[in-house]
């Protein structure tokens, strides 16, 4: 069997760390927090005037001032009038390919750390290539990357999934911490994945597949439910035996929900519907008895409402400046993923969110284990890593949890769930022997949950970042997005193409404002300089090509402009030659005269196991671009709309074939020769 292109590749990554911001680590020395108010999270209490000693990544002493001897040469951190609490965990995030290539103004690792988030759990990488979370997990562990401790699921089993057992086994062998199962798995696929994971003693977490339902996932022993909102669908009437594709399920469920809106119970507390109450109580008992924890992720429902009903408010929020480049634009055009999926079914969104909140309150009251999770990380989510966790804490308190109870979800409960995953959840409280994940805040978080935002310093696995270091972490770099790709052309030559797109810089206009560009490839620094690049003004892009195929591995691109720096990390994971298509099958043939002003262009597609993307391009003879399509999966023909091609003119056309659908994810590209034609 042919292997999937990306699955077996070991990806080596350079680090995305802003130089000069390395933690003031004193591995061999002891760090002493003195005169600090301690929020140990071992119970709901505050211990005034305490000393906490940290050596390497561990807490080695905790006690009242004067009772703990501070070793000579210790690094002293004065905690007078400040509060020391355990680092926070976001138990539901996603790594995304765009964490690599400069898609965020500030690296998500920095956003997490600056917000006191010292543990993250990746619920499955988004985008391709996948698998870099494992690399980051090791980099953080070894101290080469500043960031939270990472636990990671393999690529999400969305369903439909052929060979679910094989996928689960492969993820286990690759060393992922758990598997993530999704909504669209069939009953058989779900059972197959569960049985395989159980046999391997591998932790399972996920959505409740629409074909399976809550009773089914409880019976199969699913270890954890990824969102409280998954339970909402238990209150809807729909046909679970349907065989639907990925997005068809969502649209079907939203349609059923909207059709049933009138019949759904009123959620206001003064009018409890007894059947509905009984149903909720049954669910709570079931989850409590089966000891299944859930991630809260109310932040998702909240951001979806903003996307649908107040996009301008979301666009102008103070933390939105940290959202990925292009997010706001897409939102304002109404093309955000949630906006598209909910189109026509907007009415269900507020009900859905209110039901989530009601379920949160009932689950909490019923003693079901909850962990704090936000679903931040994917490019299109609209949530800012780190900041979204403080919002999630606020949602908990707004729903009646005491600040202490809300904090438990992001500390003690998180650690307990990590332990259940057969991993070391040695964090979440301030006690001797625990990992030194600490947050120093200016205000008692047990009095007011907003105080968790008043961060004066963060310690992650024993590495200390003071307020100054955290502030520097949040300075946006020059936005750089880059791609490296292998190009094969009609002359049967291979070359390597570098595309570097630069966003606004503070020091003036492109290209002059960029002083230097450097690229470090898998074999070291490439002998090219800024002047070797062609500047493409329409795209704000620098472009360079060099003969020969690229080497696989990591390319780090750095640009400098005055004091500002920008960087992108790109992975060339696969080098393979996409064959040239046979021009004998091209229509129109080269030199043809077309009658119609709406001609059809067609070609024979190349048969491969992996999908290929085709892009039709039409230029004026000796001139520029007249028309092009997007990169469309397995496209074999395209009708050019009327009005594009003018009579009595000559044009040329070609197709480009790629293995990715976006310029940043293309690894290999083939372009065939231009074909001329005339329009009569
Ligand atoms: Zn998620």
Calculate how far, in angstroms, residue 32's C-alpha sits from the geometric centre of ligand 1.
38
Which residues, listed in sequence order, are joined to residue 670 by a DSSP beta bridge?
488, 657
Mean pLDDT, rounded, for 410-425: 96
Tokens of 408: 């438990």
Calculate how far, in angstroms, residue 624's C-alpha sits from the geometric centre of ligand 1.
43
Confidence band for 434, pLDDT divided at 50, 70 and 90: very high
Say if residue 109's pLDDT is above 80.
Answer: yes
Confidence band for 424, pLDDT divided at 50, 70 and 90: very high
Calculate how far, in angstroms, residue 376's C-alpha sits from the geometric centre of ligand 1.
8
Q: What angle do CA 95, 101, 104 make, to 5 degrees?
A: 70
Sign of CA dihedral 148, 151, 154, 157: negative
Calculate how far, in angstroms, residue 245's C-alpha sits from the geometric centre of ligand 1.
19
Tokens of 155: 């690529």
Calculate how far, in angstroms, residue 24's C-alpha sits from the geometric centre of ligand 1.
33
Calculate how far, in angstroms, residue 294's C-alpha sits from the geometric centre of ligand 1.
12
CB 613 within 8 Å of CB 659: yes
SS3 670: strand
Q: Give the Cα separation of 122 and 645 in Å (integer).
A: 49
Calculate how far, in angstroms, residue 65's C-alpha sits from the geometric centre of ligand 1.
43
On average, the pLDDT of the chain sits at: 90
Calculate how far, in angstroms, residue 487's C-alpha sits from the geometric centre of ligand 1.
35
pTM: 0.79
Rounded to the nearest 5°, which phi and psi values hold at 572?
-100, 100
Q: What are the CA-CA distances from residue 266 to residues 235, 238, 606 (Å)?
A: 12, 20, 55
**Nearest Cα to Cα of residue 48 among 60, 57, 39, 61:** 39
Calculate how far, in angstroms, residue 554's C-alpha sits from the geometric centre of ligand 1.
27
Calculate how far, in angstroms, residue 234's C-alpha sits from the geometric centre of ligand 1.
19
Q: Identical fold at 86-427 and 583-679?
A: no
Calculate how far, in angstroms, residue 381's C-alpha sits from the geometric centre of ligand 1.
9
Q: Give the Cα separation of 22 and 500 in Å (integer).
A: 26
Looking at the chain, the whole-number percentage of residues with pLDDT higher than 90 is: 73
Residues around the ion ligand 1 (C-beta < 5 A): 123, 375
Rank 321-325, 423-427, 501-505 by mean pLDDT and report only the highest: 423-427
Calculate how far, in angstroms, residue 674's C-alpha sits from the geometric centre of ligand 1.
44
Q: Give the Cα separation of 607 and 330 in Å (integer).
A: 34
Looking at residue 291, what DSSP letter applies? T
Calculate how far, in angstroms, residue 93's C-alpha sits from the geometric centre of ligand 1.
6
Q: Which residues contact 158 (CB under 8 A, 6 or more apart)?
A: 182, 183, 184, 185, 246
Q: Give the Cα separation of 454 and 445 in Å (integer).
A: 9
Distance of CA 473 to the CA centre of its chain: 19
Calculate how far, in angstroms, residue 71's C-alpha sits from the geometric centre of ligand 1.
45
Calculate how far, in angstroms, residue 44's C-alpha sits from the geometric centre of ligand 1.
31
Calculate how far, in angstroms, residue 416's C-alpha sits from the geometric centre of ligand 1.
20
Which residues, listed in sequence order, are joined to residue 464 by a DSSP beta bridge?
459
Lowest mean pLDDT among 126-130, 342-346, 366-370: 126-130
Calculate how far, in angstroms, residue 69's C-alpha sits from the geometric centre of ligand 1.
46
Looking at the chain, the whole-number percentage of residues with pLDDT higher than 70 is: 94
- The structural domains of the chain, with segments of one domain joined by +, span 86-427, 480-572, 583-679
CB 664 within 8 Å of CB 129: no
Confidence band for 275, pLDDT divided at 50, 70 and 90: confident
In 370-529, the DSSP E strands lie at 370-371, 438-441, 455-460, 463-466, 480-489, 494-502, 516-521, 524-525
Calculate how far, in angstroms, residue 300's C-alpha sits from the geometric centre of ligand 1.
9
User: pLDDT tens digits for 580-598?
Assistant: 999 999 999 999 999 877 8
Calculate how far, in angstroms, residue 477's C-alpha sits from the geometric centre of ligand 1.
27
Q: Which residue has the tokens 């619920």?
A: 123
- The CATH code of the domain at 583-679 is 2.60.40.10
Calculate how far, in angstroms, residue 221's C-alpha sits from the geometric centre of ligand 1.
20
Rounded to the nearest 5°, which phi and psi values hold at 360?
-55, -50
Domain 480-572 has CATH 1.20.990.10: no
- Could you please state the CATH topology (level 3) that the domain comprising 86-427 is classified under: TIM Barrel (3.20.20)
Q: Give the Cα separation of 281 and 284 in Å (integer).
A: 5
Confidence band for 25, pLDDT divided at 50, 70 and 90: very low
Q: Which residue has the tokens 């065939």?
A: 672
Strands 294-295, 370-371: parallel, antiparallel or unpaired by DSSP? parallel
Distance of CA 582 to the CA centre of its chain: 39
Calculate how far, in angstroms, residue 451's C-alpha sits from the geometric centre of ligand 1.
27
Cis peptide upstream of residue 608 (ω within 30 degrees of 0): no
Calculate how far, in angstroms, residue 87's C-alpha sits from the geometric centre of ligand 1.
22
Looking at residue 539, what DSSP letter applies? G
Dihedral class, residue 97 (left if φ above 0, else alpha if ψ from -120 to 50, else beta)? alpha
User: Read out DSSP for 182-196?
Assistant: -TT--HHHHHHHHHH
Burial class (CB in 10 A: 0-12, 13-18, 19+), 131: buried
User: pLDDT tens digits for 460-509?
Assistant: 999 999 999 999 889 887 888 899 999 999 999 999 999 999 876 555 67
Calculate how far, in angstroms, residue 375's C-alpha sits from the geometric centre of ligand 1.
5
Calculate how far, in angstroms, residue 515's C-alpha sits from the geometric centre of ligand 1.
40
Tokens of 575: 């080098």
Calculate how far, in angstroms, residue 94's C-alpha sits from the geometric centre of ligand 1.
6
Q: Within the chain, what is the greatest distance between any pair of CA atoms?
A: 95
Mean pLDDT, rounded, for 527-543: 90
Distance of CA 482 to the CA centre of its chain: 18
User: pLDDT tens digits for 544-583?
Assistant: 999 999 998 888 899 988 777 888 888 888 899 999 999 9
- Say what the pLDDT of residue 507 is: 58
Q: What are the CA-CA distances from residue 240 to residues 159, 185, 208, 237, 244 (Å)?
A: 14, 11, 12, 9, 10
Looking at residue 435, what DSSP letter applies? B
Q: Give the Cα separation of 180 and 159 in Å (integer).
A: 11
Tokens of 555: 């390319």
Calculate how far, in angstroms, residue 2's C-alpha sits from the geometric centre of ligand 1.
30
SS3 279: helix
Calculate how far, in angstroms, residue 225's C-alpha sits from the geometric centre of ligand 1.
11
Confidence band for 330, pLDDT divided at 50, 70 and 90: very high
Q: Give the Cα separation of 16 and 145 in Å (integer).
A: 8
Calculate how far, in angstroms, residue 123's C-alpha sits from the geometric centre of ligand 1.
6
Report which of residues 615 and 24 the model is more confident about.
Answer: 615
**Nearest Cα to Cα of residue 651 among 680, 614, 613, 671:** 680
Confidence band for 287, pLDDT divided at 50, 70 and 90: very high
- Say what the pLDDT of residue 5 is: 36
CB 127 within 8 Å of CB 97: yes
Confidence band for 14, pLDDT divided at 50, 70 and 90: very low
Report which of residues 596 and 675 the model is more confident about.
Answer: 675
């Amino acid at each position: 069997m042919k292997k999937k292109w990306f699955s077996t590749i070991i990806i080596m990554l350079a680090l995305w760390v802003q130089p000069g911001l390395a933690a003031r680590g004193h591995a061999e020395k002891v760090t002493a927090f003195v005169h600090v108010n301690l929020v140990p999270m071992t119970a709901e209490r505050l211990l005034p005037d305490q000393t906490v000693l940290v050596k390497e990544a561990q807490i080695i002493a905790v006690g009242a001032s004067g009772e703990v001897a501070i070793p000579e040469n210790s690094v002293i951190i004065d905690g007078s009038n400040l509060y020391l609490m355990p680092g926070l965990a976001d138990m539901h995030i996603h790594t995304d390919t765009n964490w690599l290539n400069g898609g965020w103004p500030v690296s998500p690792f920095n956003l997490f750390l600056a917000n006191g988030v010292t543990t993250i759990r990746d619920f499955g990488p988004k985008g391709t290539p996948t698998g870099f979370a494992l690399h980051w997990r090791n980099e953080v562990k070894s101290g080469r990357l500043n960031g939270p401790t990472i636990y990671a699921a393999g690529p999400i089993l969305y369903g439909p999934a052929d060979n679910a057992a094989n996928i689960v086994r492969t993820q286990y062998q690759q060393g992922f911490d758990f598997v993530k199962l999704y909504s669209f798995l069939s009953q058989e696929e779900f059972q197959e994945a569960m049985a395989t994971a159980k046999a391997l003693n591998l932790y399972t977490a996920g959505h409740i597949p629409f074909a399976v339902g809550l009773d089914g996932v409880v019976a199969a022993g699913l270890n954890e439910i990824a969102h409280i909102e998954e339970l909402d669908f238990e209150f809807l009437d729909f046909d679970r035996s349907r065989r639907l594709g990925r997005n068809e399920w969502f649209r079907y469920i939203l349609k059923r929900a909207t059709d049933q809106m009138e019949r759904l119970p009123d959620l206001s507390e003064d009018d409890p519907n007894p059947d509905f109450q009984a149903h909720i109580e049954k669910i709570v008992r079931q989850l409590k008895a089966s000891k299944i924890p859930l991630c809260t992720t109310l932040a998702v429902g909240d951001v979806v409402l903003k996307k649908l009903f107040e996009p301008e408010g979301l666009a102008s929020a103070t933390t939105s400046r940290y959202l990925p480049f292009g997010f706001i634009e897409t939102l304002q055009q109404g093309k955000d993923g949630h906006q598209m999926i909910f189109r026509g079914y907007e009415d269900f969104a507020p009900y859905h969110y209110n039901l989530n909140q009601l379920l949160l309150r009932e689950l909490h009251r019923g003693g079901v284990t909850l962990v704090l999770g936000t679903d931040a990380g994917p490019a299109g989510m609209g949530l800012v890593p780190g900041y979204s966790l403080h919002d999630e804490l606020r949602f908990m308190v707004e729903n009646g949890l005491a600040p202490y109870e809300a904090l438990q979800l992001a500390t003690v409960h998180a650690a307990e769930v990590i332990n259940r995953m057969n991993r070391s959840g040695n964090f979440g409280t301030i006690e001797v022997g625990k990992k030194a994940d600490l947050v120093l805040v200016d205000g008692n978080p047990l009095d007011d949950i907003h105080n968790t935002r008043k961060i004066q310093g963060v310690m992650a696995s024993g590495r200390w970042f003071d307020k100054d270091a955290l502030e520097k972490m949040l300075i946006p770099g020059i936005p750089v997005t880059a791609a490296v790709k292998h190009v094969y052309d009609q002359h049967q030559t291979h070359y390597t193409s570098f595309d570097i797109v630069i966003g606004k810089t503070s020091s003036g206009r492109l290209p002059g404002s960029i002083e230097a560009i450097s690229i470090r490839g898998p074999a070291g620094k490439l002998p090219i300089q800024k002047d070797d690049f062609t500047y493409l003004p329409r795209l704000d892009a620098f472009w360079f090509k060099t003969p020969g195929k690229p080497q696989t591995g990591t390319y780090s691109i750095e640009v400098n402009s005055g004091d500002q720096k920008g960087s992108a990390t790109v992975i060339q994971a696969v080098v393979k030659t996409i064959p040239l298509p046979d021009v004998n099958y091209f229509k129109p043939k080269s030199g043809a005269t077309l009658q119609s002003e709406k001609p059809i262009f067609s070609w024979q597609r190349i048969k491969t196991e992996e999908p290929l993307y085709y892009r039709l391009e039409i230029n004026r003879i000796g001139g520029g671009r007249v028309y092009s399509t997007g990169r469309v999966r397995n496209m074999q023909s395209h009708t050019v709309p009327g009005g594009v091609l003018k009579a009595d003119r000559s044009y040329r056309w070609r197709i480009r074939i790629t293995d990715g659908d976006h310029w940043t994810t293309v690894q290999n590209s083939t372009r065939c020769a231009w074909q001329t034609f005339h329009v009569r």
